[in-house]
Amino acid sequence: MPNTYDYMRISTEEERGLQKFSRQEKALHKYANEHNIEFLLEFKEDKSGKNFEDRKEWQKLESILQPGDTVIFKDVSRFTREAERGYSKYMELLNKGIELIFLDNQSISTPYIKQLLNVAKKQNLIAKTSLESTVKLLLLVELDRAEQERLTTSKRIKDGIAASAKKSGRPAGKLDKMTDELYHDIHNYLSDRSVKQSDLMRKHGLSRNTLKKYIALVADGKVHN
């Protein structure tokens, strides 16, 4: 009998445990309730999405997957942040009969992709080749977007450090209120741990402890922009 699993991932490069899985859990459990799905097992890990080999929980999950099984993610970036390897792994799992559901990226969930590929099989050679190429492009565009978001966010934070150094600074650890810029940077940090705490500390003139307090406030939803 086919089984359904969910997979959640966050990534850090510094201290662990500051970001919760609550957003992913809420979305996945809501989807399960609405579709009368029961997850056989839930997999969570705090690891970069740059590859699959270093992710122990992913390796455990992949080792037990059988044809017909389903894995549900909140979005494609939980699956991977690397376009080329991500595409190869996606096609490998698709060809094994594994269903991949991305709640925020339904256009590249395997049920929809398989529909397109089945239509392609019924076409003449030219139409078939064209549609198959379109499907590949669709997958690569979404996977590349996830990768570029990570790179762009990291660069923006680093660029902000240089700009802030030219401004009259305030003592480290002092901040009168949560600024929109700080909120936005922390929000990006929580969703993409390629952004480092040290970058945020230098950019906003904060001590590590003060930054941790603001991160906790944003993660718990106690402050909003």
Place of tokens 């945020």: 200
The amino acid at residue 207 is S
Give pLDDT, residue 176: 52
What's the pLDDT score for residue 193? Answer: 63
Three-class SS of residue 5?
A: strand
Extents of the domains making up the chain: 4-144
Output the tens digit of pLDDT for each of the chain's 225 residues.
Answer: 899 999 999 875 433 444 578 888 999 999 999 999 999 999 999 888 878 999 999 999 999 999 999 999 999 989 998 888 999 999 999 999 999 999 999 989 999 999 999 998 899 999 889 988 988 888 988 888 867 765 555 555 556 655 555 554 544 444 556 777 888 888 788 877 677 888 888 888 788 888 888 888 888 776 665
- Mapped onto helix, strand or coil, the DSSP state of residue 174 is coil
Q: How much is the pLDDT for 71?
A: 98
The DSSP symbol for 108 reads: G
Helix (H) or strand (E) holding 107: none
CB atoms within 10 A of CB 205: 17
Residue 108: closest CA among 84, 132, 143, 74: 143
CATH architecture of 4-144: 3-Layer(aba) Sandwich (3.40)
What is the predicted pLDDT for the residue at 177? 61
CA angle at residue 87 from 92 to 150, to 5 degrees? 140
pLDDT, position 151: 59
- Residue 185 and residue 203 in contact, taking contact as beta carbons nearer than 8 Å: yes
